[in-house]
């Protein structure tokens, strides 16, 4: 007796392509979003894939520690050289934030 098959035979091969794609390398998925009149590519990075590196979020100007799930976003017209790593909550709140990040007097400048 053969083992039970949990997935349909043609899953993802001939089906319609959606805006979100799976990305095995980073453990998340990639999609596009419209923000301020531009198309942005988004990649959701799993926490396990972010081990060993820290990033600075442009939304809150705080560090994203190693091993924390986050979002990588870049404008489609400029390519991956303009990638920025955002906290998920900061990316979702980007329209509600001010344009200028205000730092405290003792905050480090990176």
Where is pLDDT greater, at 79 or 19? 79
The tens digit of pLDDT for each residue in 5-18 reads 676 665 544 443 44
**Residue 2 pLDDT > 70:** no
Cα 11 to Cα 3, 5, 30, 108, distances in angstroms: 18, 12, 18, 49
Residue 78: what pLDDT?
79
Residue 29: what pLDDT?
74
Half-sphere exposure of 30 (CA within 13 A, CB side): 12
Residue 32: what pLDDT?
86
Tokens 């091969």 belong to residue = 13
DSSP string, 39-97: EEEEEEEPGGGGTT--EE-TTT--EE-TT--EEEEEETTT-GGG-EEE-HHHHHTTTTS
Where is pLDDT greater, at 61 or 5? 61
Chain CA centroid to CA 65, Å = 15
The tens digit of pLDDT for each residue in 21-57 reads 444 444 457 888 888 788 888 999 887 877 788 899 9
Where is pLDDT greater, at 27 or 2? 2
Residue 85: what pLDDT?
92
């Amino acid at each position: 007796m053969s083992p039970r098959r949990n997935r349909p035979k043609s899953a993802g091969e001939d089906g319609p392509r959606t805006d979100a794609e799976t990305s095995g390398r980073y453990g998340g998925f990639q999609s596009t979003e419209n923000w301020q009149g531009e198309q942005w590519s988004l990649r959701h990075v799993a926490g396990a894939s972010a081990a060993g590196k820290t990033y600075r979020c442009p939304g809150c100007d705080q560090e994203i520690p190693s091993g924390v799930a986050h979002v990588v976003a870049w404008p489609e017209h400029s390519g991956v050289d303009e990638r920025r790593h955002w906290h998920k909550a900061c990316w979702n709140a980007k329209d509600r934030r001010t344009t200028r990040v205000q730092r405290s007097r003792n905050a480090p400048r990176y």
